[in-house]
Structure 1
């Protein structure tokens, strides 16, 4: 008999965790498992990539009204004299605006979101919260399941989260997954009493699928008209360091280097970054091009892939660029050495614009150095599809 699994994630908008889940769902053995998926926000750029075998669950009506704008949401609960829900909706709004950071705000707000969510009616063998905070809390509080598994896709110490809020949830889980050795070690350091809970499963990356998608037509060939095209795929949020990249781009432009820097992604920093590009007069060099469901034709055509992040868990974009044999420049975030062997599989710059620009300039000027990295990547066995076996072992070991 098939085991019943449910995965929970806030959305399938563009992001590394979201792409990782889609890859995982496309790797699962549906002869062994019946899979449900909970999305707190339906749709998303990766939505069409979810296998047809996955059953998407729709949450109850109260949650659907909670998810609307503040005014229509509050009017709905007020008209129905649902004063308790009205209070929680207003409290959610206040905390969202006044929390010390977004991560803590999400943690604090779970107690105000939870009243709108009915416990899922089905009994599951395993519930998997596939992202830190809300997804993990949902798996523990809103699902009847024999086993609960959580996932952390970032370095906990850099995330802004408060560990005291996660302790009771981690205690309720059979395992909490980190996506790199550095992530797991950091979790163990933050939660020493729960050290045995933390396990490593790398994000699933399929070289075969990536290469097939990379060969598709690129609709934006005008981004590749200059001698050099730099590419970054990232959310437009502070941890991704796009502001560092923009200053580095100004340094490169001042040296007379002909390049375009294409940034694929969306986020709440778009307005600020657009203004920064204008302030540095880089409108002909740096482009915030939005999300692409299939970014791989862009990676394949780029000169270099650049990840200017302040911190990462395990960057899927870096692994995908390596699969496409692309020279990669990353900043020295905490897990960088887990993904890049310096001057062998890529290049690591300091987390400042001057050194990042110097590293990029060095590579642009040295075709032989680029070729060395490309040749090395071509001889590596890249891809992590076998990581699914670790999840199978966790799922099946409770019998």
Structure 2
């Protein structure tokens, strides 16, 4: 008999965790498992890529009202004589305005949106919260399942979350999954009493799909003397694209002709645009926005740059390696889980001068560049078999 599995994620907007879920769903054996998907906000770049075999659950009417603006939702709840949800919508609004970290706001406002989600009708064999915080809270509080699994895709220490709050939830999971050795060690240290429940399942990347999509044409041209750089990611503080813009200015000042392509969108877009204009880089640093196929840009680039302040495990870096692109990355805590300095990339300090220096070294040192490309070409980089580790937890 097939097992019933529920995956939970806040949205399917552009992001590493979201892309990772789509890749995982592509690999699941649907002859053995019935799969439902709960998406808190049913929108985003990757929604159309959910496999046809996956059933996306309808959200409750109360949740749809809750997601309206504070004024509209409160009025609707009061018209429906649901004073409790009107109160919780107001408290959700207030707590998300508190001057604390994004993670803590998400934690402290959880109990209010939980009232609108309610309890999902169907009972499952396995429920899987596929992203840290809200996904795991939904998995615990809103789902009836024989087994519960939670995912943490990043270095927990960098979340600035309330550890005591999370420990109460993580202690109710059968397994806690993370994506790299460094993230695994952090979780074991931070939640020592739960360390026997922590497992590693790497993000799934498929060389076959990436290479097939990479041949699509793009309308960006570069001349023979230009170096084309690609970066992919959400435009948010942790990704460090402000550092990238400043590094690009340094490279330009050093006489290096650069065309830097950034694929992604996010809350810091206006800040990045302002930096580009202030540094007179409109022709050099190009914002593509969100695109379901970043591989066509990666394929045209000479190298890939990851200027992050922190990462769990960068899917984009693994994808760049599959396309044989040498990588320059800052020394975020998990970077050595993915590249070795001067072997398949260059690791720099987390500032624009060091980043620019690493990029310039890769551009000017043909021997090093060729060596890295050769090393990447020899690597076995597909991780499709990681789905078997999930099967072991499920069964």
With the length of structure 2 as denominator, give the TM-score of the two structures: 0.98
Q: Kindly indicate whether the alpha-carbon contact (under 8 Å) linking 1:224 and 1:260 is maintained by their aligned counterparts in 2.
A: no
Q: Does 1:238 align with 2:268?
A: no
Please give the residue correspondences for 1:21-32 in structure 2 after superposition, counting only pairs within 5 Å: 21-32=21-32
Post-superposition CA distance 1:11-47 (Å, at most 9, x none):
1110000000000000000011000001111131111
Q: Does 1:71 align with 2:71?
A: yes
Q: Kindly indicate whether the alpha-carbon contact (under 8 Å) linking 1:9 and 1:129 is maintained by their aligned counterparts in 2.
A: yes
Please give the residue correspondences for 1:1-399 in structure 2 after superposition, counting only pairs within 5 Å: 1-218=1-218, 220-222=219-221, 227-396=226-395
In structure 2, do the counterparts of structure 1 residues 152 and 225 end up closer, same or farther at CA, with 3 Å as the change threshold?
farther
Q: Give the match's secondary structure for 1:97.
A: coil
In structure 2, do the counterparts of structure 1 residues 339 and 72 end up closer, same or farther at CA, with 3 Å as the change threshold?
same
Residues of 2 paired with 1:34 and 1:225: CA distance? Answer: 52
Q: Kindly indicate whether the alpha-carbon contact (under 8 Å) linking 1:119 and 1:143 is maintained by their aligned counterparts in 2.
A: yes
Residues of 2 paired with 1:69 and 1:225: CA distance? Answer: 51
Residue segments in structure 1 that go unaligned for 5+ positions in a row: none
With the length of structure 1 as denominator, give the TM-score of the two structures: 0.97
Residues of 2 paired with 1:39 and 1:225: CA distance? Answer: 46
Root-mean-square deviation (CA, aligned residues, Å) is 1.1
Post-superposition CA distance 1:206-241 (Å, at most 9, x none):
1111111112222x3236786111111011111000
Residues of 2 paired with 1:225 and 1:119: CA distance? Answer: 59
Residues of 1 paired with 2:266 and 2:205: CA distance? Answer: 24
Stretches of 4+ aligned residues off by more than 3 angstroms: 222-226
Q: Kindly indicate whether the alpha-carbon contact (under 8 Å) linking 1:223 and 1:262 is maintained by their aligned counterparts in 2.
A: no
Post-superposition CA distance 1:77-128 (Å, at most 9, x none):
1222211111111111111111401111111111111000121111100000
Q: CA deviation at 1:341?
A: 1.0
Q: Give the match's secondary structure for 1:222.
A: coil
